[in-house]
Structure 1
Amino acid sequence: MKDVQSEKDLRHIPLKHVGIKNLRWPIELMDKERGTQHSVAKVTLAVDLPHDLRGTHMSRFVECLRTLGPVGLNEIENILDKLKEHLQAEKAFLQLEFPYFITKAAPVSGMTAPMDMDCVYKAEKGERFKLRIKAVAPVQTLCPCSKEISDYGAHNQRAWAKMEIEANELVWLGEERPAVADAAASAPVYGLLKRPDEKFVTERAYDNPRFVEDAVREIALRLEADKRITWYRAEVESVESIHNHNAFAVVEKGE
């Protein structure tokens, strides 16, 4: 059959990324407590397309995943190598977006329940392999200004601590990133709370007011102190309870 994708293109425009996205695929993740954890990822796969090729072979992207089965962290570089080989590309790109579950104990009752975090693996390989890992942990912020100017109470809300890193050693998603976020915020968020737990969390937040600027700086201090981390980008976004907008602050290593 005629290979239309491999026809020569005379427009001389190379393409940065050509591929597939929004493919759901089973993945296997390393879990410090349980060994492994299974999840479902939304997958993006792409390669750079030279200026003289009309198109790429989309089915080969799925083939590279199919032959490997569930995708674990150790398999990511192998997938990129297969993409480069099967699609005759100089550079390949992979992104996995997935929920990761941790087990968190309430601060007073000690009752445990699963809690999910949104995570992303973003990898590419040309001459060298590059991997970034992102975790989004829910936390709570309480406004220092509101506490200062109010006769009683202060507005507080759930916020998202978003941490994207490059590292030269293994960094655990579920066991380390939430701890960094919790320490930087006014108070942690939990999957299950009884009344004594609610009292504890509410009072802890009130005693520890944080702007998003405060929280993201606290995260940066902790990431900077971790010698395994070679680059990071941290953001805290607060889903404001009394404003019709969100507040956010960002810090990036190297800026």
Structure 2
Amino acid sequence: MEEFDLTTREGRFKHFGSVDPIEGTKPKNKEDMADLQNSRKDFLFEVDSVGINNLNYPVVIGDFQSVGNFELATSLRKDEKGINMSRLIESLETVNHSGVPLNFETLEQLLKHLRERMKQDNAKLTVSGKWFFNKPSPGTNIDALAHADVIYSASHNGDKFTRKQFGMTAQVTTLCPCSKEISEYSAHNQRGNVKVMIDIDDSVELPSTYKEDLYEILEINASSQLYPILKRTDEKMVTERAYENPRFVEDLIRLVAYDLVELPWVKGFELECRNEESIHQHDAFSRLKYQK
């Protein structure tokens, strides 16, 4: 058995089975390598969407840096074998300014670059992340950071959006109307999750406060709000407000839907309310779709 110098890293590697690289016969220069992605012949079908997903990348949402989870894709013509996926990351780098600003102006730049760089007709992206914002306590007015989950989704064709969507998930408090009605005292309450995906009407100007406006709608219709910091006087306000505003998931989804319909920049939406029930092992949910 061959002996190796275990005082060196190379010797230790070989002792554990590493071998020297072979000389090889295939080209090492890019211009001499085969380019399979750019092969041209009849490949049977056009592909609607091909790309990468589950890509974590720094983003800026509002005033704070966060982490976005991206899906980037383009179409693929019938006579092309594949796309060069490294160019998707290269396109993302063009809008990275200490994080990608998450707004539709920046995302349109990215989609245009994707189409041009990949030489395709259509480009699509979806990115989700946590939006952090200041939310003072209701009575004592102590500042602290709260958060909501947001999602942007867009498709681009021929220098224009073919679809723009914005989504948000907010957490709220819901207090059971039935429990309040039948109990001698108290009522069970729980944390609720309100999730919406909105189709944006591109013919209407999107207000600069669209995130704040949507967050307010999702939580104001609940029994009460959640806060990062609560002192005793705040807690009294929050729990009493919940008791004064009992909500089934059916109530909550209808109240939220009414406010969404009244927003001029909303073309349609899919809405879900889900309660993490405090006296059951299951959750309760309601869903609603609406198109103007």
Q: Under a length normalisation based on structure 2, what TM-score does the superposition of the two structures give? A: 0.80
Alignment of 1:36-185 (within 5 A): 36-70=63-97, 71-72=100-101, 73=103, 74-127=105-158, 128-129=160-161, 130-165=163-198, 166-167=200-201, 168-171=204-207, 172-185=209-222
- In structure 2, distance between residues paired with 1:23 and 1:9: 31
- Name the counterpart of 2:230: 193
SS in 1 for 2:135: strand
* Unpaired stretches in structure 2, ≥5 consecutive residues: 1-32
* CA contact 1:135–1:173 (8 Å) conserved in 2: no
* CA contact 2:171–2:194 (8 Å) conserved in 1: yes
SS in 2 for 1:200: helix
Select 1:221's aligned residue among 258, 262, 273.
258
1:66-114 CA-to-partner distances (Å, cap 9, x unmatched) read 1222322221111111111111211111111111011112122111210
- Name the counterpart of 2:242: 205
Alignment of 1:2-13 (within 5 A): 2-8=34-40, 10-13=42-45
**Across the two proteins, how many residue pairs are aligned to each other?**
250
What is the letter of the counterpart of residue 3 of structure 1?
Answer: D
* CA contact 1:102–1:174 (8 Å) conserved in 2: no
The question of 1:18 aligning with 2:55 is answered no
* CA contact 1:239–1:245 (8 Å) conserved in 2: yes
- In structure 1, distance between residues paired with 2:147 and 2:210: 11
Query: Larger Rg: 1 or 2?
Result: 2
Alpha-carbon distance change, 7 to 177 in structure 1, aligned in 2, over 3 angstroms: same
* CA contact 2:136–2:144 (8 Å) conserved in 1: yes
- In structure 1, distance between residues paired with 2:41 and 2:221: 53
Alignment of 1:27-38 (within 5 A): 27-29=59-61, 31=62, 36-38=63-65
Q: Under a length normalisation based on structure 1, what TM-score does the superposition of the two structures give? A: 0.91
- In structure 1, distance between residues paired with 2:218 and 2:88: 35
- In structure 2, distance between residues paired with 1:248 and 1:173: 25
More strand as a share of residues: 1
**More relative contact order, 1 or 2 (CA 8 Å, 6+ apart):** 1
RMSD: 1.8
Residue identity over aligned pairs, in percent, reads 37
Dislocated runs of 4+, deviation >4 Å: none
* Worse overlay, 91-100 or 18-27: 18-27
1:119 shift after superposition: 0.5
1:244 shift after superposition: 1.7
1:249 shift after superposition: 1.3
* CA contact 1:101–1:174 (8 Å) conserved in 2: no
1:173 shift after superposition: 4.7
What is the letter of the counterpart of residue 143 of structure 2?
Answer: T
- In structure 2, distance between residues paired with 1:234 and 1:120: 14
- In structure 2, distance between residues paired with 1:19 and 1:135: 24
* CA contact 2:94–2:110 (8 Å) conserved in 1: no
What is the letter of the counterpart of residue 248 of structure 1?
Answer: F
What is the letter of the counterpart of residue 245 of structure 2?
Answer: N
What is the letter of the counterpart of residue 205 of structure 2?
Answer: E
* CA contact 2:197–2:271 (8 Å) conserved in 1: yes
